[in-house]
Amino acid sequence: MQLNAKILQNNDKLVENTPKIYSGIIIESSEIILNCFKSQIQQYL
């Protein structure tokens, strides 16, 4: 039973941290996309 409680605790931590992980990924990928657009726009200017 103790092990079960520990797994649940770790699961709660994971769930708490997941939004941070996802927002970090989204921010990074949107920056990459923006940089691609910037370099393409500069080619046309």
Between residues 5 and 34, the one the model is more confident about? 34
Which tens digit of pLDDT belongs to each residue from 11-33? 778 778 777 777 788 888 888 88
Structure confidence at residue 30 (pLDDT)? 87
Structure confidence at residue 26 (pLDDT)? 83
Domain count, the chain: 1
Between residues 27 and 45, the one the model is more confident about? 27
The pTM of the full predicted model, rounded to 2 decimals, is: 0.43
Beta strand segments in the chain, E: none
Handedness of CA 37, 38, 40, 45 (dihedral sign): positive
Q: Could you list the residue range(s) of the whole structural domain that residue 24 is in?
A: 1-45
Structure confidence at residue 1 (pLDDT)? 59
